[in-house]
A and B are shown apart, each in its own frame.
Chain A
Amino acid sequence: MDDVDHNPEADWIRLARAGDKEAFGKLVRLYMHQAYYVALGFLGSHEDALDASQEAFAKAYGAMKKFDPSRRFFTWYYAILRNHCLNMLRRKSIRPIPFSELQPEIQARQASDDQTDGFLYRSEIHAVVWKALWKLGADDRQLIVARDILETPYSVLAELLDVPLGTVMSRLYLARRRLRSAVEGLL
């Protein structure tokens, strides 16, 4: 039974803290998708998200001895990644991916079902909202992207942000409120 229940992540963390790069590599492979998409929410471009998430893993490896094994690895890594992304945003102007590079199926669905909604076509509304997202602060944008586009569960968001579930929803509401204002500013 023990073998079935055994979580290899704890072993990888123990080995990585002792300097085992291969074990750290397994942790990286386990979390690379999640890390990339978190960075994409902050930075908005494939190259920057790839660079930031990899750089943050390298920083995490250098600081593995400081990691408290009783915590979740990704929660700790998220704090490193967030700081790295915010530093990148401070240092250079980020060019978000154009709306046309969002998931092709969505685009296709809109093209076949492109009805008017008020004064704008639905695809235009999507483009305006996407543009408005980039007028928000990085934390607001990342929160909305994480919840709505990446469908991150509330419990995971609460853990990453280190706040209660109710606070996540409150923060989301305030972020959505600012998004709505940004959308109004663009119309």
Chain B
Amino acid sequence: MNHELTAHESMLLGKALEGALDEAEKREFEVLLERRPELREEFHSIKAVQEVTMAMNFKKPPEETWDRYWGGVYARLERGIAWTLISIGAAVVIAFAGYHAVLAFLEDTASPLLLKIAVAALVLGGAILLVSVVREKLTLRKTDKYREVIR
């Protein structure tokens, strides 16, 4: 059962657990435990769990892990450049092919007028959507206080 704690109480208990209380805080801590015996019990059970976690340790990874580590990061940097180039190339090719396909369709006299209007509406709608998203991203970038945090 967890009892309600104020921010100051949790800081006091935290400092006590980590052995970081000064003299004044030690007195305050003792008064707190006198006043609230349920916290004394909680404090001691948390300390017991802390002793267990402090006795744990991770197995060290093999030494080759560190020898190969930078190589793994470097490969990711290269792949990042490759993906950027592929994305740019693909965007240009798709835009070019799309433009010519739409143009050819609109110039085709055999296609019904209604279908041509529908395709033109689709293209126009897509373009407006793209401009809107890009504009929103750019505005957000200027005002986003978390822009330095890479997600």
Contacts and interface: CB of A to CB of B under 8 A. Distances in A.
Interface of A: 21, 25, 28-29, 32-33, 36-37, 40, 46, 50, 54-55, 57-63, 66, 68, 76, 79-80, 83-84, 87, 97, 101-106, 125-126, 129-130, 133, 144, 148-150, 154, 165-174, 176-181, 183
B148 interface: yes
Contact of B18 (A61, A125, A172): A172
B11 A58 contact: no
Nearest to A122: B52
Contact of A133 (B45, B53, B66, B80): B53
B150 interface: yes
Contacts of B72: 50, 54
Interface stretch (B56-64, B86-94, B99-107, B112-120): B56-64
A81 B92 CA distance: 33
Nearest to B47: A176
Nearest to B61: A46
A57 B11 contact: no
Given A79-B149, A104-B59, A148-B54, A29 B46 contact: no
Nearest to A125: B52
Given A50-B72, A173-B17, 10 more contacts: A61-B73, A126-B56, A148-B54, A165-B20, A166-B15, A171-B14, A172-B14, A172-B17, A174-B10, A178-B2
A166 B53 contact: no
A154 B46 CA distance: 19
A89 to B, nearest CB: 14
